[in-house]
Every structure is written in C-alpha cells, then in structure tokens.
C-alpha cells in the first residue's frame, strides 16, 4: 500500500476521489481497502485542518441551533439562564453569558463549554 502525503490542492482532490471510491466499496475495516481508507482519510483530515479550518460556532447561534434541534421554546431557557427578560437579553446579545449560565447550558443542552466561553472572553476584551 503506497500512500503519499497531501501537499497540494491537486493531491487533495485526488485523495478525495480515492476516499469516495473506497467508501462506495464499503470495505471491512481490517481489509486492505479498509486500512487504506483509514490512512487516506486521516491524511485528508490533517490537510483540511491546516488549509480549511472551521471556526467554532457563535455561542448564541449554538444555543438557538440546540433549541431548534430539541424543540425548545425561549421560556425553556429560564431554568438555565434566569428570568425570561434575561433570556431575551442574552439571545439579543445585550447581556453576556455568565459562568453559571455557561455551566448550566453545557450540562443541560450539551453545548461544548469552549463554544459558550468564547463569547464571554470576546466580551471581556471588547470592554
């Protein structure tokens, strides 16, 4: 199994074509094709992480997305954020998330703390 490093966009596109073809074969993980898929997939991920980084989501958008996924209404955030007027202020970006809010949102909604903390840090440096 000869595998080459991905150094250019042409290499990347070729690796994507090969990954796609291997996925279509649906190889057993322990087969030579399955191992090749795993190795090339790892190389593709490393190339993408370096050349096409994905910024973390905006904390408020992450909250709204999780609300939509879970079928939650604004009033459902009261136990996590505080009184309804405070929930509206947070969602309108007029009030920052506190550490207590971040902890409760993380624990109860499963939003990564790093995503929620980013907003608090941004607001600290903006002040």
In order along its 127 residues, the chain shows pLDDT tens digits of: 688 999 999 999 999 999 999 999 999 999 999 999 999 999 999 999 999 998 888 999 999 999 999 999 999 999 999 999 999 999 999 999 999 999 999 999 999 999 999 854 455 444 4
Query: What pLDDT sits at residue 122?
Result: 52
Structure tokens belonging to residue 116: 């929620």
Same domain for 39 and 96, yes or no, is: no
How far, in Å, are 8, 17, 21, 41, 112 from residue 45 at the CA level? Answer: 14, 14, 17, 6, 21
The pTM of the full predicted model, rounded to 2 decimals, is: 0.60
Same domain for 42 and 80, yes or no, is: no
Query: What pLDDT sits at residue 57?
Result: 87
State which residues form the domain around 75. 59-126
Same domain for 97 and 120, yes or no, is: yes
What is the C-alpha to C-alpha distance for residues 115 and 83, in angstroms, rounded to an integer?
A: 23
Query: What pLDDT sits at residue 2?
Result: 84
Query: What pLDDT sits at residue 54?
Result: 85
CATH code where residue 72 lies: 1.10.260.40
Same domain for 84 and 120, yes or no, is: yes
Torsion of CA 62, 64, 70, 73, to 10 degrees: 150
Same domain for 46 and 64, yes or no, is: no
4 is a domain residue: no
What is the C-alpha to C-alpha distance for residues 60 and 46, in angstroms, rounded to an integer?
A: 29
97 is a domain residue: yes
Query: What pLDDT sits at residue 124?
Result: 45
3 is a domain residue: no
- Cβ count within 10 A of residue 119: 19
What is the C-alpha to C-alpha distance for residues 113 and 127, in angstroms, rounded to an integer?
A: 22
Same domain for 45 and 63, yes or no, is: no
Structural domains of the chain, count:
2
Same domain for 72 and 108, yes or no, is: yes
Same domain for 63 and 122, yes or no, is: yes
Residues 6+ apart with CB under 8 A from 53: none
């Amino acid at each position: 199994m000869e595998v080459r490093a991905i150094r250019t966009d042409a290499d990347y596109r070729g690796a994507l074509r090969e990954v796609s073809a291997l996925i279509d074969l649906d190889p057993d993980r322990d087969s030579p094709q399955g191992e090749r898929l795993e190795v090339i997939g790892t190389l593709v991920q490393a190339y993408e992480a370096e050349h096409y980084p994905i910024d973390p989501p905006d904390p408020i958008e992450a909250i709204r997305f999780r609300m939509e996924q879970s079928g939650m209404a604004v009033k459902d955030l009261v136990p996590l954020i505080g009184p309804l007027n405070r929930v509206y202020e947070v969602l309108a970006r007029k009030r920052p998330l506190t550490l207590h809010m971040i902890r409760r949102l993380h624990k109860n909604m499963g939003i990564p703390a790093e995503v929620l903390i980013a907003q608090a840090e941004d607001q600290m440096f903006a002040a």
